[in-house]
Structure 1
Amino acid sequence: MSEQSPEQKNDNLNQTTASNSATATDKEFLNTLRGSIDAVDCEIQTLINNRAKLAQQVATVKKNHIANDPAAENTNPIFYRPEREAQVLKAVMERNTGPIADEKMARLFREIMSVCLDLEAPQRIAFLGPVGTFTHAAALKHFGKAADTVPLNTITDVFREVEAGTAMYGVVPVENSSEGVVNHTLDGFLSSTLKIIGEVELPIHQNFLVAEHTKIDGLSRIYSHQQSLAQCRHWLDVNFPNVERVAVSSNGEAARRLKNEWHSAAIAGDVAAAEYDLHKLYSNIEDNPSNTTRFLIIGHEAIEPSGQDKTSIMVSAHDKAGALIEILKPLSYHGVSMTSIETRPERPNKWAYVFFIDINGHIADPNVSAAIADIRPLVKDLRVLGSYPKAVL
């Protein structure tokens, strides 16, 4: 190797010095940025605690109002206001300027609101379990992770828990965009006086889950809920055509079973994967990428208008020709948009049916109240199941 000239050595020295200088400058700039982040974090923390203190003051005002109002004796203050939360979350998304996406920003605020509500009064939320189901995910999405979520075995159990006051609210599935309506939830309203106070729309993304000890080459069965197996039928036919598919009571149960089985896999969502410490071998395996399930929040109180609302009614029609057409005419006349209609048998009456109808608007809206008033004389019975904010997240 030839020896470098003095000029070449000088050039190399200058380049090294410049490189070291640039590195030092970068480090200084990074330290400055990190210092700015620390300052912003401190400010955010202070503001969140200020918000929490204001929430505590709201709780005190509500408690004092009940204590000083003779008409409100033996009643409990209502701390959770779904219409208020919907308005706050919509405002968050409307004023958001990025770079964080609107929905992700709203999710951050949802968790802040959840923690603040927990300071006002801890919320006990019943849901169709077990832990790790999509209903569990819907409960966390709607109430935040600070809520005390309680898994129950059946939809009927959720209704009973809320009716008894053991849980403040309940979360139950009502329909899936691919598999249709959940009849057990609709039937629950036939014998219950509970109201619908909110809704959650949850995109259903199915994952193929395995445990740390799973032998992939030796898979002999795949566990999941019947609906989830149906939603992934084509993917399973292509990828695991010869592996037995076993329907179980829930996706959470499917995930739980992998703990003691080396030859099994499960199909379930992200919450189940996290709860049971499972690995996502494949993600988003559902045949329909827009697959969505709608969940209802059930409770006791009537909800004030939020500005973007939905109303659900249950109608028992007379057994005569054209009964349904007669029911729907007032909606059209008053300009009320119907978003869905389902039919269930009116037990114990033979060949009698009940219609569950969802419409846009709040019962306090003049056109909605006028339409319902016009329908009442045409039917055997009409019950407003609730007016509530449309799903925000």
Structure 2
Amino acid sequence: MKVGYLGPAATYTNEAALKQFGSEAELIPMRTIADVFLAVGNSQLDYGVVPVENTLEGGVTYTLDMFGRADLDEIMICAEIMLPIRSHLMVAQNGPKSLNEIKVVLSHPQALGQARGWLQNNLPNVEIVEETSTSRSAELVAGRTDAAAIAPILCAEAYNLKVLASDLQDADFNQTRFFVIYKHRPRWPMPVLNNSDEGVPITAIMISIKDKVGTLHAVTDIFMRYDINLVRIESRPSKQKAWDYVFFIDLQGQPGQPHVANALHELASETTWAKVLGWWNRSSKV
């Protein structure tokens, strides 16, 4: 089984892929989120793992935008991974011995945002440098004596760094949600976080609504009439014309349930198009 993930190795996405698939799968780091989608789309990968949302920093919009590409219409979601995020401040073995000796902090913008309060309280005057990934930050810090990286613990092991401080995230509930994507149907039973009869059934859809007064209200009214809880709704530019938007909705229930199927059928009257992106069971432990 070949599984691609947003790399490089030792990132949070790598950790999420390990959590979902274990060490038996061939885990392949990819340079960008687009590379993961494209490799799944052309069947170079069986599955892909991409970040979609963080509890502190919000949605990963680039992941959402990839679902709107016409050439990737066959890509679907088969599972989600909820990963608690623990950020660590790490330095080279011959690097700073205390916070006072740190001149520069490197990390991915998401990781920096999630530790914004800690940085302000503990390192208010250091230079902040954004890098393409937490792993790349750790790799760069391994060769410096004045810098620190904010990264997952896998990076300390991968680049022989020492940890100066742990749990930098500004909230104990900090988590990142990842999607497991595939093309059409898996060729063997897909891995899931929990047994198929456990957890909360979730369906993700993507819609484009008609340009008229009250359409969004009409869409939400359909779900209300069928007693369907919308657990997430987010808009993104359609990238087809100016000031045109599509909506991503996560709802409780799955297409095989009659009330969900009926609601999705009625959406046709208020949308120009609608697409089911996938369905899975959300762990009840989340």
TM-score (norm 1): 0.66
Q: Secondary structure at the match of 1:236?
A: helix
Q: Does the 8 Å CA contact 2:85/2:176 hold for their aligned counterparts?
A: yes
Deviation at 1:152, TM superposition (A): 1.1
120, 131, 149: which is aligned to 2:9? 131
CA gap 1:245/1:206 in 2 versus in 1, 3 angstroms: same
Deviation at 1:215, TM superposition (A): 2.9
- Deviation by residue 1:53-98 (Cα, 9 ceiling, x = unmatched): xxxxxxxxxxxxxxxxxxxxxxxxxxxxxxxxxxxxxxxxxxxxxx
User: Is 1:299 aligned with 2:191?
Assistant: no
Distance in 2, matches of 1:274 and 1:376, equals 52
Moved more, 352-361 or 209-218: 209-218
Q: Does the 8 Å CA contact 2:92/2:143 hold for their aligned counterparts?
A: no
Gapped regions of structure 1 (runs ≥ 5): 1-122
Q: Does the 8 Å CA contact 1:343/1:356 hold for their aligned counterparts?
A: yes
Corresponding letter in the other structure for 1:241: P
4+ runs deviating over 6 angstroms: none
1:169-208 superposed matches below 5 A: 169-191=47-69, 192-193=72-73, 194-208=75-89
Distance in 2, matches of 1:287 and 1:324, equals 34
User: Is 1:259 aligned with 2:142?
Assistant: yes
Corresponding letter in the other structure for 2:225: Y
Distance in 1, matches of 2:157 and 2:262, equals 48
Distance in 2, matches of 1:344 and 1:233, equals 26
Aligned residues: CA RMSD: 1.7
Q: Secondary structure at the match of 1:380?
A: strand
Aligned to 1:144: 22
Aligned to 1:220: 103
- Indicate the structure with greater strand content: 2
Deviation at 1:129, TM superposition (A): 0.9
1:24-35 superposed matches below 5 A: none
368, 373, 385: which is aligned to 2:265? 373
Q: Does the 8 Å CA contact 1:174/1:295 hold for their aligned counterparts?
A: yes
Radius of gyration: which is bigger? 1
CA gap 1:391/1:300 in 2 versus in 1, 3 angstroms: farther
Distance in 2, matches of 1:351 and 1:263, equals 46
Aligned to 1:18: none
User: Is 1:159 aligned with 2:37?
Assistant: yes
219, 223, 226: which is aligned to 1:327? 219
User: Is 1:210 aligned with 2:88?
Assistant: no
User: Is 1:240 aligned with 2:240?
Assistant: no
Deviation at 1:392, TM superposition (A): 6.6
Aligned to 1:272: 155
- Indicate the structure with greater helix content: 1
Name which structure has the greater RCO, CA cutoff 8 Å, separation 6+. Answer: 2
Corresponding letter in the other structure for 1:164: N
Distance in 2, matches of 1:148 and 1:276, equals 21
User: Is 1:288 aligned with 2:171?
Assistant: yes
